[in-house]
Structure 1
Amino acid sequence: MTSVHIAEPEGHVPVVARADLVVVGGGPAGIAAAVAGARNGLSVVLLERYAYLGGLASGGMVLVLDDMCNGPEISVRGLCGEMIDRMERIGLCVTPPEADRRSDEAMWRKWSRWGVFDFHSHVKPQPICYASAFDPDGYKRVANDMVREAGIQLRLHSWFSRAIVEGGRITGVICDTKEGRQAVMGSVVVDATGDLDVAASAGAPFIQGAFIVTTVFRLGGVDTDTAERFEYEEPEAFNAIDREAKRIMGGSWDKWWLKTPLPGIVWCNCPHMAGFDGLKIDDLTRADFQGRDRIAALLAYVRQKMPGFENAFVVDVAPQIGVRQTRLLDGAYVMSKEDVMQRRHFADSVARGRDYYYPYRTLLPRHVAQLLVAGRHYSATSAAQRISREIPPCMAMGEATGVAAALALQADVTVDKIDVARLQAVLRAQGADPGDQPAANAYVAQAAA
């Protein structure tokens, strides 16, 4: 089909807000960036296209926070840990107590259906670890509280359109809204869109990646006690049904259903669907249809065959498709798979995951001043990102960018010229773990920086 274009009138876009820091994307990384910036004295505008905060944690219903401990050592702290504490206080988050974080059959049977185990471990049964199962509305509520308390100007229903760049420096962004196109100006901008929308629009180099997508869903009316008893007391029959359920879905993690803080409601981080581009409207539309078809087929099967699921029903399908990888920043440093697998430590580490480290340079775009990146679109190869993109370390990246923006504006320097040692010290003083102190199992290179 021949491409057809329509000429748009340039017109004038009203400036509706100005701030020290503009964060685009209200997912986990964006929430952390905005709150960290505001708590360090910045005026902050947070822009989000949906009617809620939380991104793939809430809207995508990725309902386990993991990859935040290195054996018994908690490696992601700070704002992520605060969110967990707040959700626990309202009864919408479950975390294994320290005494239960070990490898034995009793703990596996008690906790594995919560998804709070070290899925990277080769020990059997895999150890129960510091991880949290949470409710999506709980995440939204806590995010609202933290943003409101920090005095952040939140603008929901604001869909990013393009970056405003003047002389190689980003100065703001334009959003599409029900009120028309609106401009928001900022001294520093953080791209927390997940798809690198802002940095790509601003002209920063990037690569294209791809991975599976998922239409996450929840089922209600499940008798989890009966289902678990069947799994352990009739393993041969359970395995046969479990295999067929996974075949119907076309792919899933080992445990396709997990418990949630709400009784009788389980969440299913599946089906896994390959071959879809998370930046293409046709692909996203087909993925949504295909996912719902698979969910319907699965439900019909397990209602008939799986003890405990006889009265199951679909509670909801996540409003956001679980896109794991699209554009990836080609930044000041590109994280490799070897960096992640070898636990390479960097002198300029400002965030940690399970046992890997993010140097500040992976958050810095090239060729665009005053722009930072936080989230799953950080500077990495496709293979590296697949194993280092979980929600807690994305929050740690966001927290680092918010503090970095504050330090840059306080020192009157661009974000690429800040004192990283000072950034690390501030993050640690505020309860985060920037990874400046390598763990015992880290690989410290001769020329780490």
Structure 2
Amino acid sequence: MQTTLERTLAAELHELRETRQYKQANELQAPQEPRTRMDGRDVINLSSNNYLALANHPRVVEAGKRAIDRFGLGTASVRFICGTMTCHLELERKIAAFIGCEAATTYISCWDANVGVMPTLAPTPEDAIFSDALNHASIIDAIRLSKAQRFIFKHRDYDELERMLESPEARKTRNKLIVTDGVFSMEGDVADLPRLKELANRYDAVLVIDESHATGVLGATGRGTAEHFGVLGEGTVQTSTLGKALGGACGGYVAASRVICDYLVQKSRPQLFSNALPPAVCYGSMAAIDILMGTEGGTGVSPVRTGGRAVSAVSSASAGVSHADSGPALLARLRQNVAHFRAGVRELGLKTIDGITPIVPVLVGETPTAIAMQKALLDEGVFVSGFGYPVVPKGEARLRCQISAGHTTADLDECLRALKKVAEKLPQGPAAVLKGAPGRG
């Protein structure tokens, strides 16, 4: 017999299925690559955060193997007891040098990093957190865990943010955090970091930037939004992930001043009560940073064999990048691919949001349209994710196309042809996804 809770949950699950919001796991039958396998066939992958095609790079994989040989599979402890290994300290020093901050500390995910920052640095009702309305869910939940006063400003509306900072309620507060994504995960647009830093300096606030979709993507050498705007290392708190461009395994970090990182190590609950990163993630992430920085870093280059076949170059080498490529070449290829795909989307007349990042949303209106297009595109051999309410606002459902340095021009052209074909066959007509709304290309 079901409990009241189970009956309630079953009813909600039924509603999700009826409204076509029920999520199904998409099973990959090959490594995370620009081309992979689903349902027994090859597909072009436009859904991955593997922006630099490093998730299965031989140096990254080999480094992870060497870490297991040296340190074992996991830490079996939190950091402050006996979970800190040499590899954690090496990784944190490398991250700090890469980002241009005094120090860094790692977490099991960037979600945990955000949850570690917000309630720890702004813990009381005397504190205040100012947050962009379209910040990532991890930031939203982290703020909810804080007892600080909350001020939510409209997306990238920094005039509204300034009015909030000027308000009598805000002026009475003690510690102030201004929190933003560097690159917004559903829009693909970029925070105006110089304006935010100017406001933070003027109102004695600390600027916290989640760089998860910017690390390894923006900036001349892939160091993120701060490098993109020429303010690298200038007094911010940066959270980011090791699970996207930097190898795609898992893990997050905070890079900041030494005093802030030291305080987080002492006080942030995810740091105190979660196991440390697996050693393989530490070494794999260091190898990814070495590749991005164009340094050897002591990692191996021999292919790894799984089940009797080499997996070192499942498709990356044939998909537009060479495993000999270093950071500048990877970044150049990524930016060429982004420019090519964005131009193609505009040429087709699809609704999108202009930008420079590998996140290219195609706005389709309602959730059922996004789901139908996702399925039809998969039938065409293109795996792209559709998102609707409540992930995005009602009426703003979209396909989120994510571009990798590993895609070839032919891959991207094939995806564009599939988008055109699927749009033209929509029951409501192609106009449902054509001709941009005001302010959107």
TM over 0.5: no
The structure where strand makes up a greater share of residues is 1
TM normalised by structure 2 equals 0.28
